[in-house]
Structure 1
């Protein structure tokens, strides 16, 4: 087999994207959804692998800005649109695309690459570690109540169209984004993604709705949701399908959830992507009735180890030498001395004896603070070479809030 890996020609986008859809199976996306991804796409970052003039492999990346612990915002490649046609599997096409892509990410001076995975087992061999989790909730709103702090009665709720409320919602998001690692500073055009609402994806629910929460005339939170009407022999049994809930303070946050719990003709509420440490779990009076499911969300790959580790802060003072293995990107291999605290850090290659040994995959898993080095060591994926080094590093890598990716890409 002779294949050619080349940059995608913008004129070939429609056919190229169609091959991607075919590889993933299912019906084609709605026209408005496909058009949004075309506008957000960066053809200069997309690969088109061809065999005899036919596209057999695809991969791309978005130019993201990712929040890391401490609030710094780093350039990151958002790896996406990856597929190999079923006729060309197990021939090294994915490996070649990943190698080519990571070299390009490095050339663009992006210290991180991130992705979400349809099949998580694939990407570990390329150095990507599971770095954050997403929680899905299914709540019985007839049997649960929300504890609302004092001041909630001062919150005014106002229903608006999603388009009408977009500017106010984005202002809230912008104020929140640097407070939690793993969130994305929205680049131009990405503010449209939360409004995407193809009828084929609603699963019987109505159109997207938006409620703004105001205090003293200023918007301090919002929720986007839809209602799926249903009736049984006992009466109405609808479901509130929550898309987004964000607020600038706990009072407004609780007021929004109380509103969502109390929508007429509904008895259930579902939310598919919430942070692992969502305060909602402490607002309800019976966590058992929340039916919580946890899955992996964002995968992180350090492309420039020294730059990435120096860009974040650390919860406690740290001075540790990491022996990093990275056979897929050998420029990252070696011993790195990481020195840092809550104010800043430095990370340089060294010849000093190592304190911990791990691969770049484990660094990616621990990088945002979502998983501890101690837990990874318990799985045999981190080795302590100096007594006490594991505890020191594991605590230092921790974060006040769990990392969270608010939307896919």
Structure 2
């Protein structure tokens, strides 16, 4: 019997989400998690594949605005909730969902699609490249001290209820996407994700806590959300501070928050996840060897409208280059494109051309370099970008680079 792929109806959501839980291991989420994701789901942008009355495949999209180099917020489809039932593998279900979804994104005028991958090897064949990375750290606070900037001692810290401080924290976050590529402007309802605190997710740690930093007029200039996980060994306490978020508007507030977390009683480790790979914390610590940073993929980027996406971002310097782009899955992007940019403050154009190509690459490599994360020079060294004119890769690689690493602060 043929499978039926259709847009999700509101009364199908529970069956659709039950399928998704099964695809991700079969462990049911807490009622509060499930209710939040039901609220955030956009049914008109969600697809289900049905075998009679059973959902066997799913893919959704959130309507985001993503920060790109130069500070612009560009429309982007946040691809999410992708899963295929184990009974329906190797039947083209995922490919058909990706095909339908990318066609819909293009028709809707969004130049970008982005996702976080449960298995990063899956999405390269659909043109997604790893556009941002995230860093986790485990700091031995018995051996590491912080060198804080002037003004840190003047920052006032207050321990607050995470729910009651939500508006203040969101004001801090709202100022940040324009300063770093890869961040999403928070849409209504998404502020709830950061304070979601079901007991099942604590793994023996405390309920979620929040500390805010305040400036001289009492304005909130930063915040950290964290849990404390008590532990004991024969020699005494061995507790851990588990940091889920830390954002600040200035170096003093930033350092004051980290110092607070380092000095919580009865704890000897600070563990933080999903930090930017160029996190300033690495320059505050006294001994980088006791930090044990670990890097992993985060946001995967797919150029859906190639000229629109390339024209939407700024470039670190002037560039005039002809790119030969391969894109089998979205053939409207394939071919030769002339990218002309005047630098970070200049105008940008990207148009089709018959001129000889200078650099050849696939749309996947463009996605990897789009936010200024991976460099085209590094990808060329791996054989994934080909230089057709001497010196062209170095020129275009410098133009695509950016002064801060792209960063996705939270998943979706």
Trace 1:1-400 onto structure 2 (pairs within 5 A): 1-216=1-216, 217-340=218-341, 341-343=343-345, 344-400=347-403
Q: Distance in 2 between matches of 1:68 and 1:109?
A: 17
Q: Which residue of 2 aligns with 1:402?
A: 405
Q: What SS is found at the alignment partner of 1:386?
A: coil
**1:345, distance to aligned residue in structure 2 (A):** 1.1
**1:26, distance to aligned residue in structure 2 (A):** 4.1
**1:390, distance to aligned residue in structure 2 (A):** 0.3
Q: Deviations over 1:340-393 (max 9, x none)?
A: 111231111111111101110000000000000011111111101111110000
**1:150, distance to aligned residue in structure 2 (A):** 1.4
TM-score (norm: length of structure 2): 0.98
Q: Distance in 2 between matches of 1:185 and 1:275?
A: 17
TM-score (norm: length of structure 1): 0.99
Q: What SS is found at the alignment partner of 2:139?
A: strand
Q: Distance in 2 between matches of 1:205 and 1:388?
A: 54
**1:237, distance to aligned residue in structure 2 (A):** 1.2
Q: Deviations over 1:40-79 (max 9, x none)?
A: 0000011110112211101000000000000000000000
Deviates more, 1:94-103 or 1:342-351: 342-351
Mark the runs of 5 or more structure 2 residues left unpaired by the alignment. none
Q: Distance in 2 between matches of 1:353 and 1:198?
A: 57
**1:153, distance to aligned residue in structure 2 (A):** 1.2
Q: Distance in 2 between matches of 1:152 and 1:49?
A: 55
Q: Distance in 2 between matches of 1:202 and 1:293?
A: 22
Mark the runs of 5 or more structure 1 residues left unpaired by the alignment. none
Alignment RMSD (CA, Å): 0.8
Q: What SS is found at the alignment partner of 2:302?
A: strand
Q: Distance in 1 between matches of 2:72 and 2:273?
A: 27
Q: Distance in 1 between matches of 2:197 and 2:373?
A: 30
**1:325, distance to aligned residue in structure 2 (A):** 0.7
Q: Distance in 1 between matches of 2:397 and 2:198?
A: 43
Q: Distance in 1 between matches of 2:45 and 2:21?
A: 18
Q: Distance in 2 between matches of 1:374 and 1:265?
A: 47
Q: Deviations over 1:10-30 (max 9, x none)?
A: 101011100110111142000
Q: Distance in 2 between matches of 1:18 and 1:368?
A: 35
